[in-house]
Structures are given as C-alpha cells and as structure tokens.
Amino acid sequence: MTSPPAADAVVVPATPLLLPGNRSLRDPVAGVRAAAEGAVRWLARRHPERVVVLGAGADAVDRGRGVTRPASLRVARSLLAVAGFAGRVDEHAPPGEDLALGGGGLLVVADGTARRDPEAPGRLDPRAAGFDEAVETALRHGDVAALRGLDEALGRALLCSGVPALRALGSGVARPAAAHVDYAGHPFGVQYWVVRWSGRDGEDPAQDAGTRRP
C-alpha cells in the first residue's frame, strides 16, 4: 500500500456567511473571514497551478431550494478568487475514497458540530464540545490517524457535515511537518476552524498569521 504524500493543506469553514453576497456593513464573521482569506492566500502562493478542494455535498435545505452546487464548493471558489488563484481546481464534494494530489495544495472546507449552544441550528447537545475538541486537537497536532477515525454516525447526530472531508484529509496526506490554527471558535453555535498544514520540513505556518479565538 502506497503511503500518503506530504502536502500543504488548509481547513476553512463551509459557512455561506463567507460568500461575498452575505457580507454586510457589519460583517458577522469578520475574524473568520480574515483568517480564511489569509490562509487560502498562503495556499495559493505555494501552489499556483493546482488546488484540490474537499467539502460536503449539497444539504437538504439547498436541494429543497433547487440549489445543487454545494455551499462548500461555492465558499472554496470565492476564497480562491479573493486570493487571485488562476490555476486548476479539482473539486470533490463529497470526497471519494481516492485522493490524487499530484503536487497540488489541498483546501478542505468543513465545519465542526452545529450543536454547541441553545441557539445553535441543532440546539445544544452536550456531546458536541468534546467532539469538536477532539477534532481541533487532531488538526492542531497534524494527527491524521485521529481524523481518519472520526465517528461518522456521531458526526451526523451532531450536525457535523464536515466529517467526510476531515476523514478524507486524514486518509489522503501524511502527517504535516508543521500545523497552525489561525482561528477556532463557535459563533452562532457552529464550530469553525481555520488551519494551515505545511508539508515542508523546517517551515512554520504560524509565522504568517496569529491565532484568533473569540
């Protein structure tokens, strides 16, 4: 069995609030947006020819409105446009079993749970905080085995649509040489992360951005 390759990867939220049309004079996700745009610029600079996007498929709400293009892909394309990326984009939503990076960068568009507090879309579930903490620990330490092992059934119960993409990240790349969390928080009761993984030895993604945790 071939070992997964070392790769640069970025994780950003899938929230449609990051789309330009949802930005108002008072941006409700200004900190998330700044971190996500900075991380995707970092990825685009390092991989100007090709980026592979992993995200969730269209949800029931979108399908009910006749929207078939997943929010995760729309968010990815928007952030790549802001970064000035003009290369090839390969999209996988939902991701399949095989991930062929071929030297490109990896953009993972995934939220955590949506049951972090009583005002969350799925209302409060006491299991959500622990689930998100386990995911964040894996992202912070580049623990690909922990991501591969995320419980999909529990993720569905906690409205964590990002589990398939996060599992694919854990399966598709080697443990990064360095990892940095630019943002971690759960505004509106939904867990968001912005994370950079560097596949290059001797580099520290933390030099490009500070961590934001509201």
The DSSP annotation for 43-109 comes to HHHH-SSEEEEEE----HHHHHTT--S-HHHHHHHHHHHHTT--SEEEEESS--S----TT-EEEEE
Predicted confidence band of residue 204 (pLDDT cuts 50, 70, 90):
confident
* Residue 140: its H or E element: helix 128-141
Rounded to whole angstroms, how far apart are CA atoms 40 and 15? 15
| pTM (two decimals) | 0.92
Q: Dump pLDDT digits (tens) for 112-127.
A: 999 999 989 999 999 9
Query: 3-class DSSP state for residue 14?
Result: coil
Rounded to whole angstroms, how far apart are CA atoms 146 and 171? 10
Q: What is the pLDDT of residue 66?
A: 78
Backbone angles phi, psi at 193, to 5 degrees: -135, 150
Token look-up 């685009």 returns 44
Q: What is the pLDDT of residue 25?
A: 65
Percent of the chain with pLDDT over 70: 93
Q: What is the pLDDT of residue 161?
A: 93
